[in-house]
């Protein structure tokens, strides 16, 4: 209930932020002919994890600064609801749709309706499959997966590895796995490591990670390494390890760069996470949306075949964070302060 209240509060804050920001004399206006106030619809998959809050705040703030009006819809991980919300956004006359799909495939018909209505479409962080879109903007997720695999092998002592993937309907889950298995497979082939189990978390439900770890430990199987495809899954895996007194025996690697992950790294219970600069991603997506609304060219640095054709992409780099570089990459870079990371840290696993 608290999470849902927080989601609702954030949406209200976001709308007010866009309405109140000074949007006169914007740097992004480049010559005549652009729309004075393009309307951008943001279709969120959910607001149930820290990272989506950060993305939404950055997106709405930057769109407001550029001079766009924004409508936000939150699907709470329900694809049917998101499809209805996209159709509602079309009816409201949006110029651009920024969509984080619940399912990379099940949203394609709603997205196709947007394209048919003349709406420009940006798939944000999760690609939309089998239909035309104008831009996919994300991180280099193959390399992100490689970084996770490297972080695991670099620190693990032992052979047993548990894989905790995200939602099968999220194309990124497959891509992360492709990246980390590129690193892990040679070690599997030589017998240096053994994959003792693999699970997929529908809708990224973090309790799946707890159950997967608990199941192995209850059978007396030691776990020496865990790949968890986001930090919420890593958190619950560590909780299960902690309850069994095995938290110091297992290397756990996640990704997303949640504040909680940095706290667990400092505590020594999570080995690594992958930092993704959401603010840069959101700002680039906002600028792309503004330019698409005004029929202006956008920056790209690659393509992806989404089953419909080769879609223009913009990929950002990521950074593996461990206790060895958290000071430089996170604290000194002012992603989070030392005070924020260390606040109440001793109580996390009391």
Average pLDDT of every residue of the chain: 90
Each residue's pLDDT tens digit, 155-188: 999 999 999 999 998 999 999 999 999 999 999 9
Residue 255: how many other CB atoms lie within 10 Å? 32
Lowest mean pLDDT of 11-15, 69-73, 182-186, 261-265, name the range.
11-15
Task: Tell whether the model's pLDDT for residue 13 goes beyond 60.
Answer: no
pTM, two decimal places: 0.86
Round the CA-based radius of gyration of the chain to a whole number and report it.
21
Task: Tell whether the model's pLDDT for residue 239 goes beyond 60.
Answer: yes
Query: What does each C-alpha distance from 325 to 247, 273, 345, 348 come to in angstroms?
Result: 22, 11, 19, 22
What is the set of domains in the chain, with CATH numbers? 2-133+277-316 (3.40.50.2300), 141-276+320-347 (3.40.50.2300)
The CA distance from 111 to 33, in Å, is 27
Please name the residues in contact with 80: beta carbons below 8 A apart, sequence gap of 6 or more: none
Can you tell me which residue has the tokens 């891509």? 175
The two three-digit tokens of residue 122, written as one number: 């940006």
Each residue's pLDDT tens digit, 329-344: 999 999 999 999 998 7
The two three-digit tokens of residue 144, written as one number: 């992100």
* Contact criterion met (CB below 8 Å) for 166 and 229: yes
Q: 47 or 30, which is more confident?
A: 47
pLDDT at res. 33: 52
Average pLDDT over residues 281-305: 97
Average pLDDT over residues 94-109: 96
The two three-digit tokens of residue 234, written as one number: 């890593």
Task: Tell me the residue length of the chain.
Answer: 350
Average pLDDT over residues 23-34: 41
Task: Tell whether the model's pLDDT for residue 15 goes beyond 60.
Answer: no
The two three-digit tokens of residue 206, written as one number: 């973090």
The two three-digit tokens of residue 17, written as one number: 């932020």
pLDDT at res. 36: 77
* Contact criterion met (CB below 8 Å) for 319 and 237: no
């Amino acid at each position: 209930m608290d999470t849902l209240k927080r989601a609702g509060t954030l949406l209200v804050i976001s709308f007010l932020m866009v309405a109140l920001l000074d949007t006169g004399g914007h740097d992004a206006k480049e010559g005549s002919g652009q729309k004075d106030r393009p309307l951008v619809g943001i279709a969120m998959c959910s607001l149930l994890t820290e990272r989506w809050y950060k993305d939404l705040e950055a997106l709405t703030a930057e769109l407001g600064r550029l001079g766009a009006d924004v409508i936000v819809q939150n699907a709470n991980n329900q694809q049917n609801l998101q499809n209805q919300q996209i159709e509602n956004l079309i009816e409201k006359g949006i110029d651009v749709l920024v969509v984080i799909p619940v399912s990379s495939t099940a949203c394609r018909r709603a997205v196709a309706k947007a394209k048919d209505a003349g709406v420009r479409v940006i798939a944000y962080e999760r690609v939309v499959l089998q239909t035309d879109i104008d831009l996919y903007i994300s991180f280099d997720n193959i390399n992100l997966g490689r970084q996770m695999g490297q972080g695991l092998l670099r620190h693990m002592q032992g052979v047993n590895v548990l894989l905790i993937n995200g939602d099968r309907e999220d194309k990124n889950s497959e891509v992360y796995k492709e990246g980390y298995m590129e690193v892990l497979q040679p070690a599997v082939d030589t017998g240096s490591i053994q994959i003792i189990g693999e699970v997929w978390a529908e809708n990224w439900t973090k309790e799946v990670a707890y159950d997967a770890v608990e199941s192995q430990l209850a059978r007396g199987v030691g776990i020496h390494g865990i790949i968890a495809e986001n930090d919420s899954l890593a958190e619950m895996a560590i909780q299960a390890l902690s309850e069994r007194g095995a938290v110091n025996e297992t290397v756990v690697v996640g990704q997303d760069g949640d504040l909680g992950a940095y706290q667990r790294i400092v505590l020594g219970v999570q080995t690594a996470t992958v930092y993704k600069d959401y603010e840069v991603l959101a700002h680039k997506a906002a600028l792309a949306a503004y330019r698409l609304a005004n029929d202006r060219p956008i920056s790209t640095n690659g393509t992806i075949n989404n089953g419909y054709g080769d879609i223009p992409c913009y990929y950002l780099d990521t950074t593996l964070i461990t206790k060895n570089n958290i000071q430089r990459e996170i604290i000194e870079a002012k992603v989070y302060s030392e005070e924020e990371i260390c606040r109440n840290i001793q109580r996390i696993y009391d």
